[in-house]
Chains A and B, each alone.
Chain A
Amino acid sequence: MKRIVVLAKQVPDTANISGDAMKADGTVNRAALPAIFNPEDLNALEMALTVKDRIGAEVHVITMGPPKAVEILKHALYMGADYVGLITDRRFAAADTLATSYVLAAAIKKIGAVDLVLAGRQAIDGDTAQVGPQVADKIGFNQVTYVSALREVNDNYLIVERDGEVQTEVIKAAYPVLLTVCAEANTPRFPNCRRMLRFFRLDMNDNTGIIPVINMDDLALAEERCGLKGSPTRVHKIKSIMLKGGELKMYGTDVTDIRQLVRDIMKDYVEVG
């Protein structure tokens, strides 16, 4: 049986913006936005549950965030997660991707004997798509990013599709491996009513132990590498930029197309005497 860890994040719902979404210092004003389960993390969770359905697995979902992030962990339980953990500590606040991946990597190591880590491709607030790859690096896992389909899974390896703009890569990966999952990969399942009934009253620090709270000391982390202290990223300036695309022309891979491509480049860049 495989042990899977899903990395989840509670994010402001950027599709339903109310009030001032940005603070003066250029960071997101989380208080003004409703908090939701980061959409692609739901796809990661769905993939974990699919693996569980197919070959059997133990699905852990962890999140680093403020106490109210407990809501997405409950949602994960409603969908079918077996174990959840809330990694929260005031000293984790204002972490960038470097500090975040440092904490998450430690949490994964603490769970131990993990075969597969699944994360959403990126979060809709920061849009960096960096945390998954950085975690893979820190825990020494193989990684496949931008996974758009799970083709095959068994006890020894899995085969996934990775979508590029013009081609699809089919990748076979051995465990242990970390995947970052795109929205196209699947449709997250709906919560189950019976599981809602079992878990809706839960809270962190209640005496059930179902939602354990994990802090910096539990993970034996170096404070200077956590939160704001451990985050070299500084927001310099925020600008609203409208991306204006030029004309896009697609070329095939046959000889005629390639000839045409060369001609077009020459036309633009080479002065023919």
Chain B
Amino acid sequence: MENYYTADRKFYLENKDLQEIVRDLENDFQDRNAEALHSYAEACTWYDMVLKNAGDICANFIAPRAAAVDEQGPTYRDGLVSWAPETQENMKVLSEAGYLGGTLPRRYGGLNLPVTVNTIIVEMVSQADASLMNLFGLQDIAMTINKFGDETQKTRVLPKFCTGEVSGSMALTEPDAGSDLQAVSLRAIEKDGQWYLDGVKRFITNGCGEVSLVLARSEEGSKGGRGLSLFLYERYRDKNLIVRRIENKHGIHGSPTCELQFNMAKAELVGRRKFGLIKYVMSLMNGARLAVAAQALGIAQAAFDEAMKYANEREQFGHTVVHFPAVYQMLKKMQAEIETTRMLVYQTAWFVDLEDMYERRSQRGEDVRSELKYANAMAGFLTPLTKFTATEMANRAAYDAVQIHGGCGYMKDFPVERLARDARITNIYEGTTQLQVVAAIGGVINNVLAQEWENLQKFNIKELSAEKERVLGFGEQLQAIVSEVTTVKDRDFHDYVANYLVAIASIAYRNVLFLPVAEQFAGKRELFRFFLNESAVRIDYLIARIRMLKKVYGVSIEELKRAFVKGR
């Protein structure tokens, strides 16, 4: 099969200027050991090889095994969880090829890749087998240890991640603490300088892994997020963790979702006490959210490819079905959504790279406060915006891909049936779409993107000047409707329309990203104009919806709710 590192992925990566980021990651190109990179050009050559090799593994090794993984999934017996044999093979191949420590420093056995490059690998792995991403993408745990753990923890644990000797899990969710992690109640007890964990975690992806990062209440009697700390639990050092069961799920069958019971299990504190949720888990979750966005994008690409293939093979009424407007309309929308979402995902990854870089530089004593503040704000805003966009988009793409297949799409004989199931979790876990809206709405209201609009204003556009005015117009429309909403002093009303505002921001910003690309590359203009016109209609529609709620009906938001609340 064709290498998954396609011309499009390469194109959008090469569109990103990683020079400053790579220079910083590679110690100003001053290292002289056998694995040191000496220039940006060299780094790009190597990244390209790393991506091509990953694309080859995904297309020719992992993808052909995806149906078998889905069919069998992991097994649970006497407290032991085993991955499906094909999943084990996949992880072995990825670890032998060196991909399990993508962004970890080389001294621990990692590749020291920029997040942007690694995100493309996550996207391709997900395209091949979405459930594998849940194991592969758990590298974020290793990254969290790398960021916040002490040197002993890092040297003990990180090399094991890179060789594939261990896999990890992030144990956050509990039966009564899902979206609301402040309610976590699993206890962490300190006795004679040793921490013990006691309690239950639920819905833990790969909870059977050897290394878990566990969010636990270290401050007895406390309530809320400030009583929580993060702990490092290693199964090979303690045996008091029991996997009670694995879930029987709708999709991503390859990844085991475990219920865990800690019985005074020995663990180590990560970083500082009481910073568990407010700092470390937030950072961990942001990494995971970007990875899930890439996962969703990969699934959408797989669904699109399958739909294209089928539409060009299946004949009805004397023609392949791709000839029918109802079919190519769906394909066109999918294509535009996937491509613009890809720009957004890579852009977010790029800001995460910038954020990491300024953090390192600030730790080295450089005065980069304003740059770091800006990168923080952008990464913090774009991460939920991207997860919101990519995961909802992937569900629509998978839905339409099934539709294009007709009855066959409903059968297990075609991959789209699995893709539609796999897509469904992406807008639920790592924070539902509704929570991404909560995380992103502040950025919309405070206009975090102001600088981006200013940059666009200054950008020298010759060929597409009329289009530029229209894109700038989207920004004005967004600001206008934001002020309309904020003049209404009703918190419930703000929350009610928040998802529409975030959707407008997503559409508008993707146009900001697309315009310079289309200006520079004539081959992209047709798709850009299509997306621009679609965007205009959708933005008008979303604004109309907000206004309808505000004015036309005249009902209060409180009244809308009353119709559904039972009891009390």
Contact = CB atoms under 8 A, between A and B. Distances in A.
B35 A194 contact: yes
A191 interface: yes
B42 A193 contact: no
A197 interface: yes
B97 A200 contact: no
B477 interface: no
A194 B110 CA distance: 8
Nearest to A198: B34
B35 A197 contact: yes
Interface residues of A, number: 12
Interface in B25-68: 34-35, 37, 42, 45-46, 49-50, 53, 56-57, 61
A32 interface: no
B35 A196 contact: no
A189 to B, nearest CB: 6
B85 interface: no
A197 B97 CA distance: 12
B111 interface: yes
Given A191-B97, A192-B98, A197 B56 contact: no
A193 B45 contact: no
A198 to B, nearest CB: 5
Contacts of B42: 201
B136 to A, nearest CB: 14
A196 B49 CA distance: 8
A187 to B, nearest CB: 8
Q: Which of A194, A196, A198 has the most CB of B within 10 A?
A: A194
Contact of B53 (A196, A198, A201): A196
B93 A200 contact: no
B96 interface: yes
A200 B37 CA distance: 11
B61 A200 contact: no
A190 interface: yes
Contacts of B34: 198
Contacts of B106: 194
A194 B34 CA distance: 10
Nearest to B37: A197
Contacts of B96: 189-190, 192
Contacts of B231: none
Chain B interface mostly helix, strand, loop or mixed? Answer: helix
B388 interface: no
Interface residues of B, number: 19
Interface in A156-202: 189-198, 200-201
A200 B35 contact: no
A198 B34 CA distance: 6
Contacts of A193: 49-50, 53, 97-99, 111
Interface in B269-301: none
Interface in B50-91: 50, 53, 56-57, 61
A192 B49 contact: no
Interface string B535-562: 0000000000000000000000000000
A190 B97 contact: yes
Interface in A198-227: 198, 200-201
Contacts of A197: 35, 37, 46, 111
Q: Name which of A191, A193, A200 has the most chain B CB atoms within 10 A of its CB.
A: A193
Contacts of B93: 189-190
A190 B35 contact: no
B111 A200 contact: no
Contacts of B50: 193, 196
Contacts of A201: 42
A191 B94 CA distance: 10
A59 B93 CA distance: 21
Contacts of A198: 34-35
Given A200-B45, A200-B46, A201-B42, A194 B53 contact: no
A220 to B, nearest CB: 33
Nearest to B53: A191
Contacts of A200: 45-46, 49
Contacts of A191: 49, 53, 97
B45 A190 contact: no
B117 to A, nearest CB: 11
Tell me which of B35, B37, B49, B97 has the highest count of chain A C-beta atoms within 10 A of its own C-beta.
B97
A198 B36 CA distance: 8
B398 to A, nearest CB: 29
Nearest to A196: B49
A29 to B, nearest CB: 26
B120 to A, nearest CB: 14
Contacts of B56: 190
A192 B97 contact: yes
A191 B56 CA distance: 10
Contacts of A196: 46, 49-50, 53
Interface in B105-119: 106, 111
Contact of B61 (A190, A192, A194, A195): A190
Contacts of A195: 98
A190 B57 CA distance: 7
A50 B443 CA distance: 55
Contacts of A190: 53, 56-57, 61, 93, 96-97
A190 B35 CA distance: 19
A196 B50 CA distance: 8
Contacts of B46: 196-197, 200
Nearest to A195: B98
B26 to A, nearest CB: 11
A200 B46 CA distance: 7
A196 B96 CA distance: 13
B50 to A, nearest CB: 5
B39 to A, nearest CB: 10
Interface string A55-92: 00000000000000000000000000000000000000
A200 B53 CA distance: 13
A195 to B, nearest CB: 8
A262 to B, nearest CB: 46
Contacts of B61: 190
Contacts of B98: 192-195
A211 to B, nearest CB: 15
A194 B49 contact: no
B37 to A, nearest CB: 8
Nearest to B95: A192
A196 B45 CA distance: 10
A192 B57 CA distance: 11
Nearest to A187: B61
A19 to B, nearest CB: 21
Nearest to A192: B98
Contacts of A189: 93, 96-97
A189 B56 CA distance: 11
A198 B111 CA distance: 12
Contacts of B111: 193-194, 197
Interface of A: 189-198, 200-201
Given A190-B97, A192-B98, A197-B46, 15 more contacts: A190-B61, A190-B96, A191-B49, A191-B53, A193-B97, A194-B98, A194-B106, A194-B111, A195-B98, A196-B46, A196-B49, A196-B50, A197-B35, A197-B37, A200-B45
14 contacts: A189-B96, A190-B53, A190-B97, A191-B53, A192-B97, A192-B98, A193-B98, A193-B111, A194-B111, A196-B46, A196-B50, A197-B37, A200-B49, A201-B42
Nearest 6 A/B pairs, CB to CB: A193-B98, A190-B97, A192-B98, A194-B98, A193-B50, A197-B35
Interface of B: 34-35, 37, 42, 45-46, 49-50, 53, 56-57, 61, 93, 96-99, 106, 111
